[in-house]
């Protein structure tokens, strides 16, 4: 049934429907509505779950690690400084191969304090071994959160469901909230691959000397490489039941496009408007929205981008000293391809700055008239530029 929900509540509804058993979280704007709703569900018995009100995000992830190691379905949500504080344990959760699911609301890091949309927080956790799935609207948030559990439990890796601060977390939209039986038919109870077990005393996460450590890390990489295939299967199953499918990337008017925009998150909606306007003016332009960032969906981006002449990447983040992170990832994904479109890297919309159709028009104009990309990312809509 359709409900008008904000993005945060699309998350909490999905976590409820997933029959999550242990939730542990620490408040940070703009994640709070997610955990407030879940606290209520636990308090009122709407969920048969334990909510652990820890004293920090670091402990939130530690508690999820403890609970997941004891074989139950877990959830946490965080953002920005909270996610940064968790960093050590993000490695631990992935290294321990625990299927923890987290909602991460994309927000800037201080100083100066800034609670608004920015991708620096989640992208800083790129190398921790977490699957990262970026969402564009409330429905996608709910669906992706449900899918995240199946995916995590299939490959034994944690999943981060990422949504834009405010533009998505606090925006109300009609969202189809499925009933419990339907969700149960999609998401069976967790059957953990490994757990603390009194009958078979085991050690989880113990010291791993050089003779073993590398193989453990190799197995994480193998699991990551299997994610696109697993995700495909999860989505097929999901589509049969719910009739919705997203893909690791989604292409809009890319087939015959000479120039293709690439980005993740809510900016894709604005960009489609810009593309429609440009198409109306006779320009062959498309948009490729990235949903999956880890693992990086190399085969998919090659498939959609290789026929284009130029690719315009919008990054709402900056890896200081090199530039936009999505652009870097795309460059490396395309480098080994025979056909390599030129990558034009643009940075904008950091710290909650609006991205408008005009900004996409500016990126298009600059890209169209340039002979080749500049070394550095170009910052769009800088006040002093």
Partner 1 sequence: MKSTDNASEKKCMNTNTAECSNVSHYPSTDYIMPGHVACPGCGAVIAMKFALQALGPKTILVIPACCWAVVAGVHPQTSLKVPVLHTAFETSGAAASGVRAALDIKGDTETTVVAWAGDGGTFDIGFQSLSGACERNENFLYVCYDNEAYMNTGVQRSSATPYGARTTTTPGDAWKNRRKKNIIEALAAHRIPYAATANIAYPDDMIRKFKKAKNIQGTRFIHAYASCPTGWRVPSDQTVSIARLAVQTNFFPLYEVEDGIRYTINTHGDRPVSDYLKVQGRFKHLAEKDIQCIQGMVDDDWQLLQRKTI
Instruction: Tell me the closest approach of the beta carbon of residue 191 to partner 1, in angstroms.
Output: 13
Considering beta carbons, is residue 62 or 305 the nearer one to partner 1?
62
Rounded Cα distance, 373 and 225, in Å: 30
- For 375, other C-beta atoms within 10 Å of its C-beta total 7
Q: Is 67 in the site for partner 1 (CB under 8 A)?
A: yes
Q: Is 68 in the site for partner 1 (CB under 8 A)?
A: yes
What is the chain's length?
A: 385
Q: Is 55 in the site for partner 1 (CB under 8 A)?
A: yes
Rounded Cα distance, 385 and 383, in Å: 6
Q: Is 22 in the site for partner 1 (CB under 8 A)?
A: yes
Q: Is 56 in the site for partner 1 (CB under 8 A)?
A: yes
Considering beta carbons, is residue 68 or 347 the nearer one to partner 1?
68
Q: Is 72 in the site for partner 1 (CB under 8 A)?
A: yes
- Nearest Cα residue to 130 out of 105, 170, 98: 98
Rounded Cα distance, 231 and 314, in Å: 25
| Residue 367: alpha-carbon gap to chain centroid | 27
Task: Check: CB of residue 286 under 8 Å from CB of residue 253.
Answer: yes
Q: Is 375 in the site for partner 1 (CB under 8 A)?
A: no
Rg over CA atoms, the chain: 21
Question: How far lies 275's CA from each of 86, 263, 343, 362, 368, in Å?
Answer: 38, 13, 18, 12, 14
Q: Is 220 in the site for partner 1 (CB under 8 A)?
A: no
At how many degrees (to 10) do helices 32-43 and 7-17 cross?
40
Considering beta carbons, is residue 204 or 381 the nearer one to partner 1?
204
Write each residue from 162 to 201 as x if it is in contact with partner 1 (CB under 8 A), else as -, in one continuous string. ----------------------------------xxx-xx
Considering beta carbons, is residue 2 or 217 the nearer one to partner 1?
217
Phi, psi of 242 (to 5 degrees): -110, -10
Instruction: Tell me the closest approach of the beta carbon of residue 230 to partner 1, in angstroms.
Output: 25
Considering beta carbons, is residue 49 or 142 the nearer one to partner 1?
49
Binds partner 1 (CB under 8 A): choice among 84, 204, 298, 361: 204
Report the interface residues with partner 1, using CB under 8 A.
21-22, 24, 48-50, 52-56, 58-60, 62-72, 74, 88-89, 92, 196-198, 200-209, 212
């Amino acid at each position: 049934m359709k409900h008008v929900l904000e993005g945060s509540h699309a998350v909490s509804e999905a976590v409820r429907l997933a029959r999550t058993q242990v939730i542990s979280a620490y408040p940070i704007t703009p994640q709070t509505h997610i955990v407030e709703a879940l606290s209520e569900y636990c308090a009122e018995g709407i969920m048969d779950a334990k909510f652990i009100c820890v004293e920090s995000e670091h402990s939130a992830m530690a508690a999820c690690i403890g609970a997941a190691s004891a074989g139950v379905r877990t959830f946490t949500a965080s953002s920005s400084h909270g996610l940064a504080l968790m960093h050590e344990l993000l490695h631990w959760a992935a290294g321990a191969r625990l299927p923890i699911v987290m909602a991460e609301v994309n927000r800037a890091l201080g100083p100066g304090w800034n609670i608004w949309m920015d991708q620096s927080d989640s992208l800083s956790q790129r190398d921790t071994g977490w699957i990262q799935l970026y969402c564009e609207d409330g429905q996608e948030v709910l669906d992706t959160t449900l899918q995240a559990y199946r995916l995590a439990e299939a490959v034994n890796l944690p999943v981060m469901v990422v949504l834009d601060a405010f533009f998505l977390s606090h925006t109300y939209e009609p969202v189809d909230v499925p009933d419990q039986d339907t969700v149960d038919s999609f998401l069976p109870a967790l059957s953990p691959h490994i757990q603390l077990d009194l009958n078979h005393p085991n050690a989880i996460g113990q010291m791993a000397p050089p003779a073993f450590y590398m193989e453990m890390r190799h197995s994480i990489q193998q699991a990551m490489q299997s994610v696109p295939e697993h995700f495909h299967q999860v989505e097929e199953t999901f589509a049969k039941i719910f009739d919705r499918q997203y893909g690791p990337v989604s292409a809009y008017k890319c087939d015959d496009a000479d120039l293709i925009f690439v980005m993740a998150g809510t900016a894709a909606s604005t960009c489609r408007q810009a593309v429609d306007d440009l198409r109306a003016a006779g320009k062959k332009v498309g948009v490729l929205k990235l949903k999956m960032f880890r693992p990086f969906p190399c085969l998919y981006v090659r498939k959609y981008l290789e026929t284009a002449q130029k690719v315009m990447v919008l990054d709402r983040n900056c890896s200081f000293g090199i530039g936009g992170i999505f652009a870097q990832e795309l460059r490396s994904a395309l480098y080994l391809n025979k056909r390599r479109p030129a990558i034009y890297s643009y940075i904008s919309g950091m710290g909650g700055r609006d991205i408008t159709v005009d900004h996409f028009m500016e990126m298009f104009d600059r890209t169209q008239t340039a002979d080749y990309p500049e070394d550095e990312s170009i910052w769009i809509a800088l006040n002093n530029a």
